[in-house]
Amino acid sequence: MKVLQLCHKPPQPSVDGGCIAINNITKGFIENGVDVKVLTISTKKHPFDKKHYSNDYQSATNIESVFVDTKINLVDAFSSLVTSDSYNISRFFSTDFDILLRKTLEASAYDIVHLESLFMTPYVHTLRRFSNAKIVLRSHNLEYMIWQRLSVAPANPAKKVYLKILAQQLKKYETNIFSSIDGIASISSQDQNKYMELGCKKPMITLPFGISLKAYKTATDLKAKKINEFKLFHIGAMDWKPNMEGISWFIEEVWPFVLKENPNFELHIAGRSMPEWLIEKEIPSMTNHTEVENAQDFMLSNDIMVVPLLSAGGMRIKIIEGMALGRVIISTTIGAEGIDYTDGENILIANSAQEFKQQLSWLKANPEKLHEIGQNGKKLVETYYNNQRITEKLLSFYAKVLGK
């Protein structure tokens, strides 16, 4: 099977969940003998550099990239409000990338074109003109839902209206794109159900984020952890609005509430593109590590991952990684969407400051649960989020789309 994988950001380095998700799909193709070619957009936020790719990887994928300036242009953004175009999507279209895509399609025939996220759908027209391949959208998120949820919070009426318009434009775009593709591999069952509610009749599959378990270190045993010295942590790219919104809420509303009862607790945050105000802000018992060199080492050096997301969609890859390392996760319901969890068994759910404090008080009273829940989370990942099994499932879905 020949697959052309189109990416809205380079698979490596693995600086955020999206990169990790893309890279794991690519590695799954390679390990399963798929003839894969990778074309990726390079941006200022996610630059492409071949030094991050082994010679074997480059040989297997013949990866190529084109720089696209995706930064927000206020004139274009305002124009999109008038024309009803989705500026969130259109800024990923590049004539140069389109030319490379056309040359690639003219040079070789493909069975499947795999689109990583909605941001690569502006190239569907070119794909239909120059290829007979089936087009499968790998949906990382339902994009309109993110902006719809973000539009609830702002106190500024103008910003609230603007975000609602963005959400409406994205919803219209996502609905219209159904007619242009041949299948959808959504990252969560919740997203798949939403696609069905929007009227999508194309073949669909729920394909969660997968990881190669051998790439994750053995977790530190938490059985002997002192109950009054919990080290909470959050890690995530801070140029993603839901992360910034969530950690701001946690720092302002939840952390003072928790710290008042647990003065020896610590909070450690890390992430790329940490804003200056958050770096400079002095917050009791909190350490801001900004971007860390090794995310696994950071997670293993702490005890409890907090995922205070209020407005995301899709599936949180960092939760799966935290579980693979045996860390306990306390997440909002929205943060844990897409994961086949059981509250109290392999994750703890909290949707308010009071609930976060209650979950931490429960762990403090039952310290043995740190190890137990961490191990249950690891077993969940081993069972449902093994990259080898997920790749096999994706290839079976491709065969269905191809009518084989």
* pLDDT greater than 70 at residue 224: no
Beta carbons of 259 and 294 less than 8 angstroms apart: no
Going from N- to C-terminal start, the domains of the chain cover 2-210+386-401, 214-384
Residues near 271 by Cβ (< 8 Å), separated by ≥ 6?
A: 234, 235, 236, 237, 238, 243, 290, 291
Nearest to 40 by CA among 13, 77, 17, 72: 13
Of the chain, the end-to-end C-alpha distance in Å amounts to: 12
pLDDT value, residue 247: 95
pLDDT value, residue 354: 95
Cα 259 from Cα 178, distance rounded (Å): 48
pLDDT value, residue 165: 66
pLDDT band at 149 (very low <50, low <70, confident <90, very high): low
pLDDT band at 81 (very low <50, low <70, confident <90, very high): very low
Token output for 141: 């998120």
How do the residues of the chain divide into helix, strand and coil, expressed in percent and rounded to 5? 50, 15, 35
Summarised one tens digit per residue, pLDDT across range 159-177 is 666 667 677 777 777 788 8
Q: What is the mean pLDDT of the chain?
A: 87
Nearest to 154 by CA among 142, 143, 166: 166
Q: Sort residue 62 into left (φ over 0), alpha (ψ -120 to 50) or beta.
A: left
**Per the confidence metrics, is the pTM higher than 0.85?**
no
Q: Please state the φ and ψ torsions of residue 316, each to the nearest 5 degrees.
A: -90, 110
> Other C-beta atoms within 10 Å of 33: how many?
9
pLDDT value, residue 399: 96
Cα 128 from Cα 289, distance rounded (Å): 46
The distance from CA 275 to its chain's CA centroid, rounded to whole angstroms, is: 20
Cα 118 from Cα 268, distance rounded (Å): 33
* pLDDT greater than 50 at residue 155: yes
CATH number for 2-210+386-401 (one of 1.10.260.40, 1.20.1440.230, 3.40.50.2000, 3.40.140.10): it is 3.40.50.2000
pLDDT band at 350 (very low <50, low <70, confident <90, very high): very high
Q: Which fold has domain 214-384?
A: Rossmann fold (3.40.50)
Does residue 283 or residue 241 have the better pLDDT? Answer: 283
* pLDDT greater than 90 at residue 184: yes
Summarised one tens digit per residue, pLDDT across range 25-35 is 999 999 999 99
Summarised one tens digit per residue, pLDDT across range 292-343 is 999 999 999 999 999 999 986 666 889 999 999 999 999 999 999 889 899 9
pLDDT value, residue 91: 82
Summarised one tens digit per residue, pLDDT across range 354-383 is 999 999 999 999 988 999 999 999 999 988
Do the domains at 2-210+386-401 and 214-384 have one common CATH topology?
yes
Position 129, amino acid: R
